[in-house]
Structures are given as structure tokens and as C-alpha cells.
A = this chain, B = another copy of it.
């Protein structure tokens, strides 16, 4: 009967009138979390709920029935301690064995937003929002405040609100939609960004008094050769990137954040994606894209703090102070013409990539992580890595040292009218300056042999503010 049987409330007054009975009140819990989080934030690393302190939502705090809470209270301080640890994902002393899958928690209140250097989770739900006609600056601020509070709860594996999915008044809509009730945090991260139109519409309208705060670099990306952009798949005043190891957890996050926005903002476009799955036995291997090749071998890694500082985080003096510690997010929906690709010879495929398909090694030799040797030539004198190959054109060495932190996902959105898979790569990259992406993409758009097999149909750029401080909200400095 533990775990959220709500029928018992029918025979009594609504729990909404009984807040004082709840030993784990919100205020009480928040204070404890402040202390518990301090350590996690300092290291900036993920914590894991130990197997001995399993705490999926619906069984740890939010979903505990009143009967369950009384039981916990009876167990005294030790019981409460476990409840808090499970809530916040603080590393608990596990009795034995590995932590359960899905129990990873990434701290929300950090210097930088999570979901950027965070190890890429398995699933993505990305949504771009437009503010409602008539929305005010106060609406925007309140929305960001509400999103911040909700994101902090969701990423900790908690339901939305004070009562969650099933604990609220019986004659009111539940605060949380409930489809993630009982699921663990699943490594959820929520990352919020601001589009150019938030600052000034294409018609030059400054809806929220933000035009003077717009970073000079936050303008629409240029049109690249070959772009076939669809208006319905680009732009947006705001964006949310939700990543998790469970699609239901990522979907639940976007759905509830969208619900919170009702009347203030609505989804403009969205994209679901999948990538490396934690259920594989080779979870440390580089995942493959839908061309069947390993993707992201030469990516910026979180374990390279100097590289991340140089190429990912906006530095002091780069632009307006409110964005310091943030980043720029580029999203590109890249449709792959899978069926055409599948009819090309392995030689053509490897020549296009400049890497082998199996191992992912550069065609100049070695293994996956061997640096490509762009100068080496074969018997014919031609370069082993073709001039038009993807690996050459995208490589930092060919782009004045420019690096991107790529974080894309594969997508398959059914099929088109001809029965071809509507599939491809939802490219996401984070960079200190949008010009980093523009530099690389311009080289690719002009010369990449892969262009025969891909089509860029969606594009967006967002400024991603730094992380929120506890008690504040995402983007607060923009409104200071």
C-alpha cells in the first residue's frame, strides 16, 4: 500500500489542508538539501543513489502516503536521513553491489548549467518555446523562476510542486502529470537557453526591455550553402534541452515544463532523439550515428577543463556580464538520406568520413583515437584522408584550432511519403562563441563530400546563461 495509494484520502479531509502533519515539510527539506548539496556542488560531479537507499519518485518522499510518512517518523532520524539522501542523490553508503541503473543524479544548482559537459545521456527531448502574444517582462521572469524550481525538483528525481502527482487535493489537477511516478532520476539534466528573438523580434520589437542586453553574437546564424531550412523547425525565444537515460523521464520533464508555461509560452518546435544506450555492454565506446560510423571521437571532453574553459564557457569580458559562465547552443536538424547512403560502396562511405567504418580509425592509419595525419599520401600520391572528407574539414587543425563540444542525438521520426525513414542527426553543439560553429560549418557546407547525403532542415541559436544559484533562478542576472 505504500507508494502512493491515494484512495485513503477519500474518507478524510484533503491532504492539502493537512500540511502540518507532514514531517518532511518543504521548508525543512530545503534546508537539509542546502547542506547536503554543498559537497556535491564543490566537486561538480554526479552523485549516485546507493542501492541501499533507493529513492525513485513516488516511493521516497513525494509519493509516500501519509501512512508511509507516519511510519518514517516512527523510525526516527535515521529514517529521515535515508529519505533525504534518496531525494537529493547524495552518495549513500551502499550495503553492497553497484547502484541501481537510473539512479544517477546531477546537481542542479551549479556554476554552469548541467547538460553541457555532463556525460551525454541516452535520450533527448528538446523543445523551443515562443513567449505568448502579450506576455510581459514580469511573465518572463516568473516563468524562468517557475522553470528553475521545477527543474531543480525534476533533476533530483522529485515530482513537480508541493504535492506532486498523487498527493494533492482530490478536486484539483495534480501538480505533476505522473508518468514518471516511481521512476528514478535517470541522470536527467535540464538546460535552458535564450534565443535572439527574446531580445528583439525580427521586426525590431523589444518586448521585454532586453534589447540592450543582447550579446552582439546572438543573431541568427548565416545562411550556409545548401541550407534547406524549414521555418517550423527553427528559431524560438527560449529553449529547453532535457537529457536523461530514460525517454519517459525526459518526456516527462518537457511536458511538465511546457505545462508550467501555459499562457506565458508555448512550444514552437521540438525534437526527440536517442544515442548511446546504457544498456549496451560497450557503454564507454563512441556511439554510432545513423550512417553507421562512430561520431564524436575528437569531441571536447569534460575531463579537459582547460579546453572547456577555452572553447565552451563564455568568459568575463566576452560580452554582457550576465552571460559569463554560460555558453552558446547551436541546434541543427540534419536529415540524412539514409537510403541513398546505404547504396554506396564501403569505399565511398569511408572516403566521405575519412575514417574506417568498423574501428573508426583515420584513413591515415592507427586506431580510433590516433590523430589523423592529413599530410600522408598513398601510392598514388593522393592524400589518404581526402580533401573533401568530413574528418579533415571538421578538424580543429583545419579550422584555426576551433573546437566545439558536440552533444547531438540520432533521430527517427517515422517515414516520409515515399516510405523513406525520416531520420538523421539532431546536431547540438556548445561553444564560447557562435563564430566557432560558423567557421566549421562554412567549411563543411562548401566542401564536405557528405553533403550529398545530408540536408540541414532546422537551425537555431541560443545563449545559455550560467547555472542558477540556490534561491535565485536561471538568467536572473539578465534582469538585474
A: residues with CB less than 8 A from B are 1, 3-7, 54, 56, 58, 63, 65, 100-103, 122, 125, 127, 129, 165-166, 168-174, 177-184, 186, 245-248, 251, 254-255, 258-259, 262, 266-272, 274, 277-282, 285, 288-293, 338-339, 342-347, 349-350, 356-359, 361, 363, 365, 367, 410, 412-415, 418-421, 423
How far, in whole Å, are A288 and B277 apart by their CA atoms in the complex?
21
Asked whether B279 lies within 8 Å of A7 as measured between CB atoms, the reply is no
Contact partners of A129 in chain B: CB under 8 A:
419
Asked whether A100 lies within 8 Å of B281 as measured between CB atoms, the reply is yes
CB nearest to A250 among chain B residues: B412
Partner of A277 from B7, B247, B281, B421 at Cβ < 8 Å: B247
Q: How far is the CB of A368 from chain B (nearest CB, A)?
A: 9
Contact partners of A101 in chain B: CB under 8 A:
101, 278-281
Asked whether B182 lies within 8 Å of A245 as measured between CB atoms, the reply is no
Asked whether B281 lies within 8 Å of A357 as measured between CB atoms, the reply is no
Asked whether B4 lies within 8 Å of A358 as measured between CB atoms, the reply is yes
Asked whether A415 lies within 8 Å of B267 as measured between CB atoms, the reply is yes
How far, in whole Å, are A266 and B417 apart by their CA atoms in the complex?
10
A292-B181 contact given A101-B101, A103-B281, CB 8 Å threshold: yes
Q: Can you identify 10 A-B contacts, CB atoms within 8 angstroms? A: A6-B359, A7-B356, A7-B359, A165-B357, A166-B356, A177-B292, A181-B358, A245-B277, A278-B279, A279-B279
Asked whether A186 lies within 8 Å of B292 as measured between CB atoms, the reply is no
Contact partners of A181 in chain B: CB under 8 A:
288, 292, 357-358
Contact partners of A291 in chain B: CB under 8 A:
178-179
Asked whether A361 lies within 8 Å of B7 as measured between CB atoms, the reply is yes
Asked whether A414 lies within 8 Å of B413 as measured between CB atoms, the reply is yes
Asked whether A179 lies within 8 Å of B292 as measured between CB atoms, the reply is yes
How far, in whole Å, are A248 and B292 apart by their CA atoms in the complex?
11
Asked whether B7 lies within 8 Å of A346 as measured between CB atoms, the reply is no
Q: How far is the CB of A141 from chain B (nearest CB, A)?
A: 21
How far, in whole Å, are A346 and B159 apart by their CA atoms in the complex?
15
Contact partners of A255 in chain B: CB under 8 A:
338, 342, 421, 423
- By DSSP majority rule, is chain A's interface helix, strand, loop, or mixed? loop
Asked whether A171 lies within 8 Å of B347 as measured between CB atoms, the reply is yes
Partner of A358 from B58, B272, B277 at Cβ < 8 Å: B58
How far, in whole Å, are A66 and B151 apart by their CA atoms in the complex?
51
Asked whether A358 lies within 8 Å of B5 as measured between CB atoms, the reply is yes
Asked whether A344 lies within 8 Å of B173 as measured between CB atoms, the reply is yes
Q: How far is the CB of A187 from chain B (nearest CB, A)?
A: 9
Partner of A179 from B103, B262, B288 at Cβ < 8 Å: B288
Asked whether A1 lies within 8 Å of B359 as measured between CB atoms, the reply is yes
Residue among A278, A285, A419 with most chain B CB within 10 A: A419
CB nearest to A178 among chain B residues: B292
How far, in whole Å, are A248 and B409 apart by their CA atoms in the complex?
11
Contact partners of A415 in chain B: CB under 8 A:
127, 267, 269-270
How far, in whole Å, are A302 and B156 apart by their CA atoms in the complex?
36
Q: How far is the CB of A430 from chain B (nearest CB, A)?
A: 23
CB nearest to A265 among chain B residues: B419
Q: How far is the CB of A9 from chain B (nearest CB, A)?
A: 9
Q: How far is the CB of A155 from chain B (nearest CB, A)?
A: 16
Asked whether A346 lies within 8 Å of B177 as measured between CB atoms, the reply is no
Residue among A101, A285, A342 with most chain B CB within 10 A: A342
Asked whether B279 lies within 8 Å of A358 as measured between CB atoms, the reply is no
How far, in whole Å, are A37 and B17 apart by their CA atoms in the complex?
62
Asked whether A356 lies within 8 Å of B414 as measured between CB atoms, the reply is no
Asked whether A267 lies within 8 Å of B357 as measured between CB atoms, the reply is no
Q: How far is the CB of A111 from chain B (nearest CB, A)?
A: 28
How far, in whole Å, are A165 and B343 apart by their CA atoms in the complex?
13
Partner of A289 from B4, B179, B246 at Cβ < 8 Å: B179
Asked whether A173 lies within 8 Å of B281 as measured between CB atoms, the reply is no
Partner of A280 from B56, B169, B289, B292 at Cβ < 8 Å: B56
How far, in whole Å, are A6 and B266 apart by their CA atoms in the complex?
49
Contact partners of A342 in chain B: CB under 8 A:
173, 177, 255, 259
Contact partners of A421 in chain B: CB under 8 A:
254-255, 258, 267
Asked whether B419 lies within 8 Å of A183 as measured between CB atoms, the reply is no
Contact partners of A413 in chain B: CB under 8 A:
272, 413-414
Asked whether A346 lies within 8 Å of B412 as measured between CB atoms, the reply is no
A1-B170 contact given A182-B285, A338-B255, CB 8 Å threshold: no
Contact partners of A103 in chain B: CB under 8 A:
281
